[in-house]
Chains A and B, each alone.
Chain A
């Protein structure tokens, strides 16, 4: 059963007086099955971020539908959007987006507090996640007191603690050094093995090569996709690289 279905997605940005129109997404179609680990790759300006914003209900498409777990995002009322996002989606951002007024623990609790959960339940949910992510020792610290890798792991914990249907990651390794990157990718893979569906937008071939399927976006359309099949990470890495080369040197689709 597909947990996310995207059909005929189009997004047109118009300048304020209707002058120039920019078509960020032309016609995007794909679906994600429950338990999948999907990467979306593409060059700057290919429409990745726009796509992610629409999936996250942060932005509205000009045309087309997004169906998350059987629910059409269009039908979610404006006032309920935030609550919907909180209950169904988890986010991991490039720049962590942790609040410096909170300790890591409170940062992780934030979505649950907003959902009105009590402390005991939150605590029970947090402990195993923190254990797995290796930040049990850092929970009482503030974001500026820990390393970038630890910050990102806290952000992952925050995304996971609501037990979302889908985790959306936007360049999660963008601000990390290579060691932290490896660690984080290992974590994502592990989380995914536990059954968590992950959709990651990334530039990094290294990051994409751990996922189960890679979608390539170019000029606002899904241009190509690669399934891992039985490939190892290294083999997938090679395939992605080949595809990117093809894309860059003018994969003549038209």
Chain B
């Protein structure tokens, strides 16, 4: 009889607390499944067939650790709800003469049952879905598809290890909690009343101020490089701000509502507002966590989806033509027409030898250098400028000769000496003059709003200003003399030649490799007179882009799912446990004359606020994150605002739909619990 007693007690305990245990087991199952899938993909052979397998592996390995750590934290959180509910039962066992040791045994069996059930079902589901996940990934990254189902032993073992440890920790925590409590405190632990919090003005205002400051930072940022740095600062400010606002601000807000007698003393506000005040402080942290999780999901989904779907754009802008060649020179005199002609003829000969017919081709000379604009004067020496200014005011200056510009654009512009045409890329420049310290100054004759070669600068995250000048050799003489402290010239000189081929992708890639090898040959360099060459092929880079953005997108989806699951369950548990606390309260209200309908209404209004307040705040966060993320995406050569707005909107919508479903489920469960009380009496 003794054998089997504890397991049976544990099993019946789980059965009787179905409402609490089912979601917990589902959560564990989900976590195990996600972890297995990611682990499986990390070690999968399929990865080898994809471009950038090593990067992918690293990214997935990182992803699996993120999930493991998150699972541990999250399961602890949900488990604490369970323990709180069960304490009463354990208190009763204790009073009936069960020692703490016996209770620990029940806990052990309970945890064992949960662990076995959830790990087993998680692994089964994981194995079942891993193939789908793999197919999805291969599809996203446009690799070769295979259809054999396989099980990864290593992934199974890893999952067992990680979740074994997590469950062990959960068990130890549960035992610790029961151990240090007396029978009476166990019995009454659920009824521990709490004082309604006093809203703390200082923290509330601080929270709002933090949020406002973070929003301001995010909304006003101009420079993509600075955006990355500011983004992290803003994220931290938003996280703290959210917690403060949820904990203190919301109490304050409800207090203000309470002061408005005409609003507060209405049947549908009265109960919900007061119970929100009562709870908000305790639940503020929970709500804030939900809000932050929601924001994370939104940011991740929107930006990775945008990166993935916008990669065509990005590739086109970064690699404007099928094949892009850039030859470097080191003397200003190499810009002479004669020299350029030699180079051009040489390149065309090589292409002719390979039967390449050029389409959409354009070639031009250009020189560039970095500079910092300070009060309309361009400073090219970094030591003359503070680091903070350098971050915000640095530009890439491009110089293109008028002849090449006219040839490329089919225009007929003329320029006097000292005049220039200005094209600004990703920035604005208001003044009519550009003055280079220690160098030339140019009067801006006209601003132009398009330049075919602008994509060539796109690989730079910096904003750039392009000046079309009468002649490079003469206009750049003074600037050419400037050297940095190493004595190297600041000016970079190049001849760019980009063209489409009309060939098949494989042929393009072959041609690209062929040309790269040829032009890297020192004897060719000598003959044509250049010092270095950069070649790129849209098709070749494309694969790499798909590898990188595809894996980001994929991880984005999986992590979003994990966080979404977490956010949803957090709410569910919060509401369910509050439902048990509220039972008595609603019972009293019914005695005083509250109708079932009014209860429904009051629950709805309360849940609606609790559910959609974090969602609304998350949406607000997202709105302000929008400009800064857009700037960061610019660094990835993504300048498609419409696309980003669309992915953001869709992410928000998907999230809201999902959320609403859970809201319905929760509100029903809550109502059940609250009205059950009446029937039981």
0/1 string, B174-209, CB within 8 A of A gives 1: 000000000000000000010110000000000000
Do residues A82 and B590 form an inter-chain contact, with CB atoms below 8 A? yes
B262 contacts which chain A residues (CB < 8 A)? 118-119
The answer, among B261, B270, B277, B592, for a CB contact under 8 Å with A86, is: B592
User: Which listed segment binds B: A97-105, A178-186, A224-232?
Assistant: A97-105
In the complex formed, the residue of A with least CB distance to B593 is A86
Query: Cα distance A158–B618 when bound, in Å?
Result: 41
Q: Which of B399-418 contact A (CB under 8 A)?
A: none
Indicate whether B433 reaches chain A with its CB closer than 8 angstroms.
Answer: no
Do residues A113 and B270 form an inter-chain contact, with CB atoms below 8 A? yes
B504 contacts which chain A residues (CB < 8 A)? none
In the complex formed, the residue of B with least CB distance to A144 is B193
Query: Cα distance A81–B598 when bound, in Å?
Result: 13
Do residues A158 and B593 form an inter-chain contact, with CB atoms below 8 A? no
B266 contacts which chain A residues (CB < 8 A)? 113, 116
Do residues A114 and B597 form an inter-chain contact, with CB atoms below 8 A? no
B277 contacts which chain A residues (CB < 8 A)? 101
| A12 CB to nearest chain B CB (Å) | 18
A106 contacts which chain B residues (CB < 8 A)? 270, 274
Do residues B593 and A109 form an inter-chain contact, with CB atoms below 8 A? no
Do residues A116 and B267 form an inter-chain contact, with CB atoms below 8 A? yes
Indicate whether B585 reaches chain A with its CB closer than 8 angstroms.
Answer: yes
Query: Cα distance A56–B589 when bound, in Å?
Result: 14
| A102 CB to nearest chain B CB (Å) | 5
Query: Cα distance A79–B597 when bound, in Å?
Result: 8
Indicate whether B499 reaches chain A with its CB closer than 8 angstroms.
Answer: no
Q: Given A99-B589, A102-B274, A110-B589, answer yes or no on A122-B596 (Cβ-Cβ < 8 Å).
A: no
Name, among A56, A93, A100, A144, the residue most crowded by chain B CB atoms within 10 Å (CB to CB): A100
Indicate whether B588 reaches chain A with its CB closer than 8 angstroms.
Answer: yes
Q: Given A85-B593, A113-B265, A114-B593, answer yes or no on A101-B270 (Cβ-Cβ < 8 Å).
A: no
Query: Cα distance A87–B595 when bound, in Å?
Result: 12
A85 contacts which chain B residues (CB < 8 A)? 591, 593
Do residues B275 and A101 form an inter-chain contact, with CB atoms below 8 A? yes
| B589 CB to nearest chain A CB (Å) | 7
Instruction: Count B-side interface residues using an 8 Å CB cutoff.
Output: 25
Query: Cα distance A144–B270 when bound, in Å?
Result: 20
| A249 CB to nearest chain B CB (Å) | 34
| B134 CB to nearest chain A CB (Å) | 52
B597 contacts which chain A residues (CB < 8 A)? 79
Do residues B593 and A83 form an inter-chain contact, with CB atoms below 8 A? yes
Name, among B274, B585, B593, the residue most crowded by chain A CB atoms within 10 Å (CB to CB): B593
Query: Cα distance A99–B596 when bound, in Å?
Result: 18
Indicate whether A237 reaches chain B with its CB closer than 8 angstroms.
Answer: no
| A162 CB to nearest chain B CB (Å) | 8
Query: Cα distance A227–B585 when bound, in Å?
Result: 38
Do residues A79 and B595 form an inter-chain contact, with CB atoms below 8 A? yes
Query: Cα distance A158–B594 when bound, in Å?
Result: 14
A35 contacts which chain B residues (CB < 8 A)? none
Query: Cα distance A119–B261 when bound, in Å?
Result: 6
0/1 string, B486-498, CB within 8 A of A gives 1: 0000000000000
Q: Which of B13-67 contact A (CB under 8 A)?
A: none
Do residues A158 and B195 form an inter-chain contact, with CB atoms below 8 A? no
Query: Cα distance A158–B589 when bound, in Å?
Result: 12
Indicate whether A212 reaches chain B with its CB closer than 8 angstroms.
Answer: no
B167 contacts which chain A residues (CB < 8 A)? none
Q: Given A100-B193, A119-B261, A144-B193, answer yes or no on A83-B589 (Cβ-Cβ < 8 Å).
A: no
A220 contacts which chain B residues (CB < 8 A)? none
B596 contacts which chain A residues (CB < 8 A)? 79, 82
In the complex formed, the residue of B with least CB distance to A97 is B588
Indicate whether B76 reaches chain A with its CB closer than 8 angstroms.
Answer: no
Tally inter-chain residue pairs, CB-CB below 8 A: 76
Q: Given A114-B598, A119-B262, answer yes or no on A82-B278 (Cβ-Cβ < 8 Å).
A: no
Query: Cα distance A158–B593 when bound, in Å?
Result: 12
Query: Cα distance A122–B267 when bound, in Å?
Result: 13
A83 contacts which chain B residues (CB < 8 A)? 593, 595
0/1 string, A116-146, CB within 8 A of B gives 1: 1111001000000000000000000010100
Do residues B592 and A91 form an inter-chain contact, with CB atoms below 8 A? yes
A122 contacts which chain B residues (CB < 8 A)? 265
| A152 CB to nearest chain B CB (Å) | 14
Query: Cα distance A93–B588 when bound, in Å?
Result: 10
A114 contacts which chain B residues (CB < 8 A)? 267, 270, 592-594, 598
Indicate whether A22 reaches chain B with its CB closer than 8 angstroms.
Answer: no
| B675 CB to nearest chain A CB (Å) | 13
The answer, among A89, A97, A101, A113, for a CB contact under 8 Å with B267, is: A113
Q: Which of B557-600 contact A (CB under 8 A)?
A: 585, 588-598
| A127 CB to nearest chain B CB (Å) | 15
Do residues A91 and B591 form an inter-chain contact, with CB atoms below 8 A? yes
B267 contacts which chain A residues (CB < 8 A)? 113-114, 116
Indicate whether A58 reaches chain B with its CB closer than 8 angstroms.
Answer: yes
In the complex formed, the residue of B with least CB distance to A123 is B261
In the complex formed, the residue of B with least CB distance to A80 is B595
Query: Cα distance A93–B595 when bound, in Å?
Result: 19
The answer, among B196, B591, B595, for a CB contact under 8 Å with A97, is: B591
Do residues A111 and B595 form an inter-chain contact, with CB atoms below 8 A? no
Query: Cα distance A24–B149 when bound, in Å?
Result: 67
Q: Which of A45-82 contact B (CB under 8 A)?
A: 56, 58, 79, 81-82
0/1 string, B253-264, CB within 8 A of A gives 1: 000000001100
In the complex formed, the residue of B with least CB distance to A81 is B595
Do residues B270 and A110 form an inter-chain contact, with CB atoms below 8 A? yes
The answer, among A82, A117, A118, for a CB contact under 8 Å with B593, is: A82
Do residues A101 and B595 form an inter-chain contact, with CB atoms below 8 A? no
Q: Which of B464-488 contact A (CB under 8 A)?
A: none
Query: Cα distance A111–B270 when bound, in Å?
Result: 11
Query: Cα distance A113–B589 when bound, in Å?
Result: 12
Do residues B195 and A111 form an inter-chain contact, with CB atoms below 8 A? no
Query: Cα distance A115–B267 when bound, in Å?
Result: 8
Q: Which of B584-636 contact A (CB under 8 A)?
A: 585, 588-598
A119 contacts which chain B residues (CB < 8 A)? 261-262, 265
| B649 CB to nearest chain A CB (Å) | 38
A113 contacts which chain B residues (CB < 8 A)? 265-267, 270
Query: Cα distance A14–B467 when bound, in Å?
Result: 96
Q: Which of B218-242 contact A (CB under 8 A)?
A: none
Query: Cα distance A124–B595 when bound, in Å?
Result: 25
| A43 CB to nearest chain B CB (Å) | 21
Q: Which of B258-289 contact A (CB under 8 A)?
A: 261-262, 265-267, 270, 274-275, 277-278
Query: Cα distance A109–B592 when bound, in Å?
Result: 11
Query: Cα distance A145–B40 when bound, in Å?
Result: 59
Do residues B589 and A101 form an inter-chain contact, with CB atoms below 8 A? no
The answer, among B195, B265, B590, B591, for a CB contact under 8 Å with A142, is: B195
Name, among B278, B585, B595, the residue most crowded by chain A CB atoms within 10 Å (CB to CB): B595
B590 contacts which chain A residues (CB < 8 A)? 82
Do residues B591 and A101 form an inter-chain contact, with CB atoms below 8 A? no
The answer, among B193, B195, B275, B594, for a CB contact under 8 Å with A82, is: B594
B275 contacts which chain A residues (CB < 8 A)? 101
| A136 CB to nearest chain B CB (Å) | 18
| B520 CB to nearest chain A CB (Å) | 77
Q: Given A101-B274, A101-B585, answer yes or no on A110-B195 (Cβ-Cβ < 8 Å).
A: no
The 6 closest A-B pairs by CB, nearest first: A86-B593, A82-B595, A119-B261, A101-B278, A97-B588, A113-B270
What 16 additional pairs, Cβ within 8 angstroms, besides A82-B596, A97-B591, A118-B262?
A79-B595, A79-B597, A82-B593, A82-B595, A83-B593, A83-B595, A91-B592, A93-B591, A97-B588, A99-B274, A100-B585, A113-B270, A114-B270, A142-B195, A144-B193, A144-B195
A-B contact pairs, 21 of them (CB 8 A): A79-B595, A81-B595, A83-B593, A83-B595, A89-B593, A91-B592, A97-B591, A101-B274, A101-B275, A102-B274, A106-B270, A109-B265, A109-B270, A110-B589, A110-B592, A114-B270, A114-B593, A116-B267, A118-B262, A118-B265, A119-B265
Residues of B that sit less than 8 Å from A by CB: 193, 195-196, 261-262, 265-267, 270, 274-275, 277-278, 585, 588-598
